[in-house]
A and B are shown apart, each in its own frame.
Chain A
């Protein structure tokens, strides 16, 4: 009985820490000193962070001009879809008061009540169409904007592309009553790198119009996709900046999308100086049909991106609550301490 044959030993389980469930484990023990220390430091950190964030958010400037009502006549014109080829422009003057907008200034368009997040809307696009070597006529996912009435495939197909924001907004700086300078705006750096270089690709051929033969433009578009930018031939086809930016559908019905950023040259090297400005808007995009609104926004950014106060406030509030909590815990701890001491001495 006592002797153990060698071959039997093989049934003995390994003596490894894992198999014997003896891996080092640490159970946090919440001693008052540790917890309070962590809380105080976290509180301080959050408060400081919050103050910094609030200050930097406060230093940003933002101008928003809702031009749905200002350009009432254009809006009225666009109510009727049959007027799509009639051009309508409107000019909105405004005064940039106080100090100049320092640093990078971004221009956005903002839409209210536009449901870019409807399930069928989001699905209505074809990624295959916009890639090199893929079929430009691949429209199978694009319902209800797959083909035109005579069965020619739409390029770019789908509800998203069809509803592309197509107002042109030009910012003018009125140096005095007679001289107007166009504020230089850049389109670069607005879209994601991957969108520009991976996701959207034009057919390889030089002549885009040839490549897109046998297709038709989306019904809402005034011009076909290869003819979007007359001035810059590289900004045509699927690589059009506005198109790429638009194709990233927003998550909420109210959203702002980047339209351009200030090219900091000459007078604008420091930003936008104070003074009289005006927006020259070619009003194409109908919003009154769905009771929506649109506006144009000029804004600077903080170092951490964005310009909302929320993050800073959230940090501040968290810090404050942490401090309150740590004081409360300290009080409870001290109250209990006497009790505990007597418990131990029993």
Chain B
């Protein structure tokens, strides 16, 4: 906005507005609106006359104002033109009004700013760079802030970044220790005069580089210390931050793609057609002009007695020149302005049909579907690619504990055939947990057997639930009503802990050394001896606790593939049984997790713990040594069972995905979530299946690796192709390919591509882009995980640009906005908290499944109707206009009209939109005596209708014309249906035959899928939380309890956080796929 100077780096001084004003940084006001009252008219008119048609009609209007060549009165053009322009202008104005409104609402939000050592309420728009502002719990962050201090110990604070990347789990931020000491002391904060030198505004959500200079020392700043606009502060009662980027410079705003004027392919087709027709019109004009010149010199000059020429009209060439322009005006109806008006009206009608559709009304949230853009309806029928967000769109973002297998026995509802299942749910009451005091009321479980087993006191079941209650990173908190609230870093864990809680194993509280749970009514405190944290290679997590009886136990949960290798040989029978169960769970698309324990010998543990302490103290190869020790102790495990958590899909997602892919629409999932989660959802909604020939995972860390992986995948694909191309697979696929008009390469078999954001960033570079696109388009399913909002938009742009395909993006959150904006059609999921996606979208509805109806019903119908309308419209205009061309040969090419265009067009444009009644009433009015009496020169048609309609001859001609026009069409259609039936004809015929044969029987859907897919357990939280817990840094206890002899804190007060950072950076290098967006 203020780009008079290229900013190389940003220098911000805290609490010094004067100093910062020198740099003219953007303030915190945002405006997404396009016009204001003064600029509206000129800008809007300028925009509108950039449209070919409007400009053309403006030229025509000017031509018509020249009396020498004006063969039609000027108002035949100006009325429709003004109408079109006003309609569009009104629409633009209302759109912009709403943008103004939402801008105002955001700009006027209040925030507390530290001014003159006092906290003052200030509107968001008045917040300046360098200001220190105070945030409270559950508040939106007003600008990109450098975190200075917070209510939590060590300057920690938690933020939810759903608006930015769609992830709902909490992220931790921590202030520099020097600044966190400032606390909530406003005087000290007001004296804070640090200078931040940092990067210029950019759109990278996961990177920040800067240096804080304060009190003669320099501190480096990274992304961990920055809170971005759009985040929400959680679980932190207050925090202070210094504004670094404000308003349009914030990363959120930098990530919001530009609003583009969206047009449909029909629009583009119409523009080309109009250009061609215009050329055609010029040709006609030239032919007629030449004709006129010849006629005037050959015949015309003999006719001068009756019609002499005025002065200055002496040459036949000049007459021809004038005739050219006259004919351009007369024949202008081949390029009809009413086309645009009518098209807009039809689209408006279709939008209303969408708004009115009861089948797209979500009663639970009382949200009807809404067509927010009225101009894109027919494009809905042309979609080839759908880009979908995951969280909130495909899934409900609710994790539920569905089933479990304990000691070889399955608990939880038994999904049989669909009908039976509903029966069960109707008959069977959910398990009643109301006896327990601490239950989560939303939790439902339909199997009473588990409850009975607990009551019977089955030790394995108890142990199983104990693991769930002990082995996790959940923090507990009591709210004002005394209810337990769990703060979870990943929703999976939340589901498991909540399940244990409902079955009577209630996780109450934890300290760095103890975990207190309530076991069936009795409080039990376990000593936490060690916490073997999760990471991506281990894919498991363990705790070592000492129970009140003094036994030391290792409880472990993790991916079954990993855990099964660590089992004691005696588990063989149970293992195979559990393994079967796991397959079953995975087949239903549940996320599975194996649970195991190990009894530890006191002496053995002490030895091990000693080694661990040594390893921790070591400077060299510390991590390797620790990992080795973890491996060492996590063996000879005893299997308890497995859990199955459902990442609940939205209703009807599977069916919708299936029917959309039947319609040859490709669905790409673009998510900010982790790879495992994304893949799991891919399996859950049948986008990925075990029948797939291959699933390529691109997780390269740099450009070279990515290119190599892409190349390999491509080779692999074409190699496999060659292998199967001789087989009978070809025959199966053949029909499908025939339907697909644009098949670049014949790919047999189903493939899937999974690529993560980090690799995507490299893959989107210019030279690899094509490889990526080719590969992706050959795959049936594409899943991109860990992508930033802007990358989502880039992927959409890529497909749009190089595939020339019509794209649709669907999402629910602010992180989908840029994707929604850049796709041909953006769909927002409405009825949820955030409105950004809906506001940016073209269509909005409450459920993903309505996409099916929107595309396959509304889109198809709109497209059909629009095509029919256009065909008819062009036909009508040509038929009408070419009469004048033909008549030119009889009237000396003098631009006399054969039919009364003036009233014809007038009626056509303004009144008759299909209404013959109106047409005739106006026709007769215009032909009436009265109107002739008033305007004898403008309406000289008196008696035409009466005279012609009383002649028998006319009626006979009308009859004959009707017969002669209708019959060829009937012949054509009859023969077409018989000789070259289309697919729908065949289906219709087939349906007819079916109806005759027998009443239709409902097909039984197959719910069971055999699947080998397992262990989709995705710890959606970061590594390092274990350390956070054992170090006790995130506990709010003022006086940490005395450390036991076993549990000695080896890390000094800040080392754990350095460890955390180090770990995460290491993970970036080794498992980069999961860390691209790490806030």
Measured between beta carbons, the chain B residues less than 8 angstroms from A35 are 970, 974
Within 8 A of A (CB), among B290-315: 299, 302-303, 305-308, 310
- Cα–Cα distance between A128 and B352 once the two chains are bound (Å): 48
Bound Cα distance from A176 to B831, whole angstroms: 103
B368 lies within 8 A of A30 (CB)? no
- Mask, B993-1024, CB within 8 Å of A = 1, is 10000000000000000000000000000000
- Whether A119 touches B947, Cβ cut-off 8 Å, given contacts A12-B358, A21-B353, A144-B308, is no
Decide: A30 and B974 in contact? CB cutoff 8 A. Answer: yes
* CB nearest to A301 among chain B residues: B953
Q: Can you give 30 A-B contacts (C-beta < 8 A)?
A: A4-B366, A8-B366, A9-B366, A19-B357, A21-B353, A30-B970, A30-B973, A30-B977, A35-B974, A42-B963, A115-B892, A115-B894, A117-B890, A118-B896, A121-B307, A127-B936, A131-B933, A144-B307, A144-B308, A194-B947, A195-B942, A290-B302, A304-B956, A305-B952, A306-B953, A329-B971, A332-B978, A332-B979, A336-B978, A336-B979
A314 adjacent to chain B (CB < 8 Å): yes
The answer to whether A13 touches B357 (Cβ under 8 A) is: yes
A286 to B963, CA, bound (A): 45
- The distance in angstroms between the C-alpha atoms of A113 and B298, with both chains bound, is 13
Asked whether B363 lies within 8 Å of A12 as measured between CB atoms, the reply is yes
Q: Does A108 contact B (CB under 8 A)?
A: no
What 15 additional pairs, Cβ within 8 angstroms, besides A113-B299, A332-B979?
A: A1-B364, A2-B364, A11-B367, A19-B353, A21-B357, A35-B970, A115-B892, A143-B310, A192-B943, A198-B942, A199-B932, A253-B890, A290-B306, A311-B956, A322-B963
B71 part of interface (Cβ distance < 8 Å)? yes
Contact assessment for B326 and A119 in the assembled complex, using a CB-CB cutoff below 8 Å: yes
Is there contact, CB below 8 Å, between A117 and B891? Answer: yes
Taken together as a complex, chains A and B put the C-alpha atoms of A141 and B890 apart, in Å, by 24
Q: Which residue of B lies closest to A115 (CB)?
A: B892
With A4-B366, A117-B891, A134-B936 already in contact, the answer to whether A195 and B943 are too (CB < 8 A) is yes
A215 at the interface (CB under 8 A from B): no
A111→B192 CA distance, assembly (Å):
105
Q: Does A318 contact B (CB under 8 A)?
A: yes
B: which residues have CB within 8 A of A? 71, 299, 302-303, 305-308, 310, 326, 352-353, 355-359, 361, 363-364, 366-368, 861, 887, 890-892, 894-898, 929, 932-933, 936-937, 940, 942-943, 946-947, 951-953, 956-957, 960, 963-964, 967, 970-971, 973-975, 977-979, 988, 993
Given A42-B963, A141-B937, A304-B952, A118 contacting B894 (CB threshold 8 A): yes
Partner of B368, one of A13, A115, A315: A13
A311 is contacted by which of B895, B953, B971 (Cβ under 8 Å)? B953
| Cβ distance B289 to chain A, nearest Cβ, rounded Å | 13
Q: Does A124 count as interface, using CB distance less than 8 angstroms?
A: yes
Cβ–Cβ contact A192 & B947, under 8 A? yes
Task: List residues of chain B with CB within 8 A of the CB of A306.
Answer: 953
Whole-angstrom CA separation of A12 from B975 in the bound complex = 45
**Interface contact A289-B302, CB-CB below 8 Å:** yes
User: In whole angstroms, how far apart are the Cα atoms of A39 and B971 in the complex?
Assistant: 9
Q: What sequence of 0s and 1s flags, for each residue 149-162 of chain A, a beta carbon within 8 Å of any chain B beta carbon?
A: 00000000001001
**Leading 6 A-B pairs by shortest Cβ distance:** A194-B943, A127-B936, A19-B356, A119-B896, A8-B366, A117-B891
Q: Are the CB atoms of A12 and B366 closer together than 8 Å?
A: yes
Q: Is the contact region of chain B dominated by helix, strand, or loop, or is it mixed?
A: helix
Pairwise interchain contact A332-B975, C-beta atoms closer than 8 A: yes
Interface string of A131-147 (1 = CB under 8 A from B): 10010000001011000
**B890 in contact with A193 (CB, 8 Å):** no
Give the residues in chain B near A1, CB-CB below 8 Å: 364
Query: A163, A332, A344: which contacts B993 (Cβ < 8 A)?
Result: A344
Contacts of B890 in A (CB 8 A): 117, 251-253
Q: Does A92 contact B (CB under 8 A)?
A: no
CB-based contact A11/B368 at 8 Å: yes
Chain B residues with CB below 8 A from A11, complex form: 361, 366-368
- What's the Cα separation between A134 and B307 when bound, in Å? 26
Q: Which residues of B contact A195 (CB under 8 A)?
A: 942-943
Query: Judging by beta carbons under 8 Å apart, are A314 and B307 in contact?
Result: no
For the complex, give the distance between the alpha carbons of A120 and B71 in Å. 10
B960→A333 contact, CB < 8 A: no
Q: Within 8 Å of chain B (Cβ to Cβ): is A205?
A: no
B294 smallest CB distance to A (angstroms): 14
Question: Within the complex, which residue of A2, A39, A128, A289 is in contact with B936, where a contact is CB–CB below 8 Å?
Answer: A128
What residue in chain B is nearest A5 (Cβ atoms)?
B366
Q: Residue A289 contacts which of B305, B367, B960, B973 (CB distance < 8 angstroms)?
A: B305
The answer to whether the Cβ of A20 comes within 8 Å of any Cβ in the partner chain is yes
A314 proximity list for chain B (CB < 8 A): 960, 964
> Which A-chain residue is minimally distant from B301 (CB atoms)?
A290
In the bound complex, CA of A296 to CA of B354 (Å): 67
The answer to whether the Cβ of A46 comes within 8 Å of any Cβ in the partner chain is yes
Q: How far is the CA of A305 from the CA of B353 in the complex (A)?
A: 50
Does A213 have its Cβ within 8 Å of any Cβ on chain B?
A: no
Q: Could you tell me if A81 and B978 are in contact, using CB atoms closer than 8 angstroms? A: no
Cβ contact within 8 Å between B891 and A115: yes
Q: Does A99 contact B (CB under 8 A)?
A: no
When chains A and B are docked, how far (Å) is the Cα of A156 from the Cα of B897?
A: 24
A318 touches B937 (CB 8 A): no
CB neighbours (8 Å) of B988 from chain A are 29
Smallest Cβ distance from A119 to chain B, in angstroms? Answer: 4
**Across-interface contacts of B932 in A (CB, < 8 A):** 127, 198-199
A81 CA / B953 CA spacing, docked (Å): 41
Q: Indicate which residue in A20, A143, A303 contacts B358 across the interface (CB closer than 8 Å).
A: A20
The residues of A that contact B951 with a CB separation of less than 8 Å are 305
- Please tell me if the beta carbons of A46 and B368 are within 8 angstroms of each other in the complex: no
Q: Which residues of chain A have C-beta atoms less than 8 A from B957's C-beta?
A: 311
B302: chain A residues at CB < 8 Å are 289-291
Residue A210 at the B interface, CB < 8 A? Answer: no
Bound complex: CA of A134 vs CA of B934, how far in Å?
10
For the complex, what is the distance from the CA of A304 to the CA of B960, rounded to whole Å? 14
A178 within 8 A of B: no
Q: How far is the CA of A199 from the CA of B359 in the complex (A)?
A: 59
Give min CB distance, A48 to chain B, whole Å. Answer: 13
* Interfacial chain B residues near A126, Cβ < 8 Å: 937
Which of B352, B896, B936, B943 is A193 in contact with, Cβ under 8 Å? B943
Q: Is A232 an interface residue (CB 8 A)?
A: no
CB closest residue in chain A, given B952: A304
Min C-beta distance of A124 to chain B, whole Å: 7
Q: Does A265 contact B (CB under 8 A)?
A: no
Which residues of A, 285-336, contact B by the 8 Å Cβ criterion?
Answer: 286, 289-291, 303-306, 311, 314-315, 318, 322, 325, 329, 332-333, 336
Once the chains bind, are A12 and B960 in contact (CB under 8 Å)?
A: no
Task: Determine if A228 is an interface residue (Cβ-Cβ < 8 Å).
Answer: no
Closest Cβ–Cβ distance, residue A199 to chain B (whole Å): 5
A252 to chain B, nearest CB (A): 5
When the two chains form their complex, are residues B937 and A290 in contact, meaning their CB atoms are under 8 A apart? Answer: no
Interface pair A131/B936, CB less than 8 Å apart: yes
| Cβ-neighbour of A118 out of B861, B892, B943, B971 (below 8 A) | B892
**In this complex, what residue of B is CB-closest to A304?**
B952
Residues of the B chain whose Cβ atoms lie less than 8 Å from the Cβ of A127: 932, 936-937, 940
Which residue in chain B gives the minimum CB-CB distance to A12? B361
Known: A11-B367, A134-B936, A198-B932. A39 touches B861 (CB 8 A): no
Complex formed: what's the CA distance from A206 to B230 in Å?
Answer: 91
Partner of A38 from B960, B970, B977 at Cβ < 8 Å: B970
Least CB separation from A42: chain B residue: B963
In the bound complex, CA of A35 to CA of B977 (Å): 12
Closest chain A residue to B953, Cβ basis? A305
Give bound CA distance, A315 to B964, whole Å: 9
Query: What B residues does A329 contact at CB under 8 A?
Result: 971, 974-975
* CB-based nearest A residue for B964: A318
Are A318 and B963 in contact, CB atoms less than 8 angstroms apart?
Answer: yes
Closest A residue, CB atoms, query B946: A194
CB <8 Å contact, B960 and A119: no
A14, B352: Cα distance in complex, Å: 12
- The verdict on A53 contacting chain B, using a C-beta distance below 8 Å, is yes
